[in-house]
Every structure is written in structure tokens, then in C-alpha cells.
Amino acid sequence: MVGDVPVGGDAPITVQSMTVTKTADHDATLQQIYALAAAGADIVRCTCNEPEAAEGLARIVPRSPVPIVADIHHQYRRALEALEAGVHCLRLNPGNIKNPEHIRTVAREALDRNVPIRIGVNGGSLHPDLYKKYGDKVTPEAMVESALQEIAYFDEVGFDLIKISVKASSVPLMIEAYRQLAEVTDHPLHLGVTEAGPPPIGTLKATAGMATLLAEGIGDTIRYSLTADPVEEARAGRQLLETLGLRERKNIDLIACPSCGRAEVDVFTIAQDAMRAFGERKIPLQVAVMGCVVNGPGEARDADLGIAAGNKRGHLFVKGQNVMVVAEDEMVDTLVEWAEFIHEHGADAALARAGATKDAAKRAADEDRDRNLGERGDDANHAEEVIAQIRRGG
């Protein structure tokens, strides 16, 4: 347990993030913690790098909506102060606290308070001896050995409330390190690609590493380490788990076609506008934005709700059935309004609400479909024209 959040075993995989404020500035830090929790963070880490930070934690912990982990580097005294402040978990970097007696002292104190510790091995700050032992480079074996050494110190004082991470900025390296670690320990694992960088590449790297491991059943908590507003991290973490079906959906799942020569609307803009309009609304439905009525309703028939563009108008469909025709500039507002209705009353009630307009909506969709096929034919991307051009020699 990290506070009241279970970690490991059959517990749901949890999302972590870290504040970027000065922990000593407890009001600013709490504000950020609330924003992170609203975006999907289950657990939040704050640095405890100075005595003032520990004092800040003493004010933050009782007012935080989620459990707090204190991040400790170099000075074991900060760990003792953070425990005194009432934090729900510590994170220690074995590469940075080198004196075994200091590690044992912290473990003894954590044991007395029943507070778990994450052993946070980081490829970039591996203990110099291990670095040397493995040929002056960071290897998965070296990272796993670093974690096991730390566990051994904890074992000496009977402490086993342990969670482990072996993060690296190289995705193949971290994947291999976690795989090896999962072979040799049953402790819960916290996943992350460290220093992943700014989005979108940072998000992509972190997703590649964490999703690979999660799909193999490895990992109990995750963190996106992005060079961005940490709210982005929490949101990405939540979305990854929802996408993999590892957490129940809280927000909208917006699907949209990639657009093509058949599109009758600017799908990119409408999809972005819809994302913005749904924002953080807690509507756990799948909503489709499709560029044409020829293929849209069929391809998105499994969505709870969708809209497909026709001749300057949008065809709204619920569970694949046409329910309404709206002007193009009302497509997004209509989607949001119907999504709220379905969320509250269910899809059957929405179909009943459409009532007699369903037949007219279906006829209008068929008309636009036939018109599109008539105008653009089967070759909406003009492939035949392009091929003829190629044959003519460009």
C-alpha cells in the first residue's frame, strides 16, 4: 500500500507523476498535486532535497488528495525528515546513497512506520563500482544488480515493503532491465523511461517502453517522465492504461478516420475541436468523427456515437443507426450534447429520443452517400489519374 492505494499483485496498475514546484512552496505544490490528481495521477512524488522541503511535506501530506512519495537523493537525513513529515512512500536512488549503514537506518525507520520504499535505479546514476564491473557501461545486468544489492541491505533489517524501478533513457535497455528484474523478484515494479524528453517524441519513447512491458504483464505503476507540464504526464499515463484496457475508461475515447480524398469536411480540425470540446469531461464513451458518410457510419458502427460528414452537413449516428442531420458548423456541439445524453440515459434512450427523425436521417445519409459515390466514384484518391501520369512519364 502506498497510503490508501494498493500496488502490486492484482491491484489495478496505477499512474504516478512528479511535481515540478519547490516542495518548500507548499501551496504551489498542493495546487499542482490537485491538478495531477484531476488528470489521472493516483500517486504523486515530490522532491525532498532540503530541510525546507521536508517541512513543506509536513504541510502537504495531510491536505493531499493522493498519497505522496518523497524523492531522496544523496542525503539520507532527508529521508528521515520525510518520514517524520508523514509521507506515504520514499524513493531512494541506490546510486546516490552509497553508505550501507545510512540505507539500513532509513529502512529501519520506514519499517517502524510501515512506509514502503521504492528502490529507484537509474541508468544515468549507476554506482561507479557497478559501472566499472560491467565494462564501463550501463547494462541491464548492472541495473538489476544495483537493485538486488539494495534489497539485500533492506533484508538485513527485515524490511520488505519494496517497489523497484530500473529506468533508463534508452528504451531497449530499460525493457531488457525490467524483463530481467521480473525474472528474479516478485516485488512490485514501477515502470518508466527516464528523461524521455518533450512530447511528442518523449511520449512516444515512454509509451514504447512501458506498453511493451505492460503487454507482457510486467509493471505495477507507471510514470511518463516528460519535459512538459506534469499534467501531461498524468494524462498520458491514464490514457495508456485505458488504451491497453488495464484501467476503466473515465474520459471520452475519440476515434477519427485519417481522412482521404473522399472526405467532405476538414476531419483534422473537427477531430481537434471535438477533443477540445470534450476536454476533461468524465464521459467514458467511444465517439467517432468520420470524414464521409460513404464509409464512416459502417467503419465506426461499434462506437457509442459518431458523426460523418455529408454534403455540407453532418450525419449523426448512435450505435451505427442514423438519428439526425445537422449543419456542418454544429457537428461538434451536437456530438457533445448527445454524448452527455447517452452517458446519462443510455444508447437505447438516445435512439428512442430520435424517434421518427431516424427514417429521414437515414434517407438523407443515403442521398449524400450516393452523391459522394456519384461524384467521386470508387477512386476518390485519384489513383488511376496518378498512375496514368506516371505512365506518361511524370
User: What residues line the site for ligand SF4 (CB under 6 A)?
Assistant: 257-260, 262-263, 290-292, 294-296, 299
Q: Given the complex with ligand SF4, which of 42 and 368 has the nearer CB atom? A: 368
Q: How far is CA 211 from CA 179, 295, 298, 300, in A?
A: 13, 31, 30, 25
Output phi, psi for 288, to 5 deg: -110, 140
Shortest distance in whole angstroms from residue 310 CB to ligand SF4: 11
Q: Given the complex with ligand SF4, which of 258 and 279 has the nearer CB atom? A: 258
Shortest distance in whole angstroms from residue 316 CB to ligand SF4: 15
Instruction: Please tell me the distance from the alpha carbon of residue 322 to that of residue 155, in angstroms, as a whole number.
Output: 64
* Closest to 150 measured CA to CA, from 179, 130, 176: 130
* Closest to 167 measured CA to CA, from 156, 177, 181: 177
Burial class (CB in 10 A: 0-12, 13-18, 19+), 319: middle
Shortest distance in whole angstroms from residue 292 CB to ligand SF4: 3
In the numeric block, which cell numbers belong to residue 379?
A: 477512386
Shortest distance in whole angstroms from residue 338 CB to ligand SF4: 19
Q: Given the complex with ligand SF4, which of 152 and 386 has the nearer CB atom? A: 386
Q: Given the complex with ligand SF4, which of 9 and 258 has the nearer CB atom? A: 258
Shortest distance in whole angstroms from residue 133 CB to ligand SF4: 55
Give the CB-nearest residue to ligand SF4: 291
In the numeric block, which cell numbers belong to residue 212?
A: 511493451
In the numeric block, which cell numbers belong to residue 361?
A: 436521417
Shortest distance in whole angstroms from residue 325 CB to ligand SF4: 17
Amino acid at 104: R
CA dihedral sign, ordered 108, 177, 206, 238: negative
Q: Given the complex with ligand SF4, which of 119 and 335 has the nearer CB atom? A: 335
In the numeric block, which cell numbers belong to residue 54?
A: 521536508
Shortest distance in whole angstroms from residue 261 CB to ligand SF4: 7
In the numeric block, which cell numbers belong to residue 77?
A: 537525513
Q: How many CA atoms lie within 13 A of 24 on its CB side?
A: 6
In the numeric block, which cell numbers belong to residue 349?
A: 434512450
**Cell numbers 546510486: residue:** 95
Q: Given the complex with ligand SF4, which of 79 and 294 has the nearer CB atom? A: 294
Shortest distance in whole angstroms from residue 90 CB to ligand SF4: 51
Instruction: Report the phi/psi class of residue 223: left, alpha or beta, with left for phi > 0 and alpha for psi in -120 to 50.
Output: beta
Shortest distance in whole angstroms from residue 289 CB to ligand SF4: 9
Shortest distance in whole angstroms from residue 332 CB to ligand SF4: 17
Q: Given the complex with ligand SF4, which of 280 and 370 has the nearer CB atom? A: 370
Within 8 A by CB and 6+ apart from 46, the residues are 18, 19, 23, 29, 33, 53, 56, 57, 60, 68, 69, 70, 71
User: Which pairs from 297-305 meet CB under 8 Å and 24+ separation?
Assistant: 297/322, 297/365, 299/257, 300/255, 300/257, 303/255, 304/339, 304/342, 304/347, 305/335, 305/338, 305/339, 305/342, 305/347, 305/350
Q: Given the complex with ligand SF4, which of 262 and 315 has the nearer CB atom? A: 262
Q: Given the complex with ligand SF4, which of 50 and 299 has the nearer CB atom? A: 299
Q: What is the CA radius of gyration of the chain?
A: 26
Q: Given the complex with ligand SF4, which of 69 and 292 has the nearer CB atom? A: 292
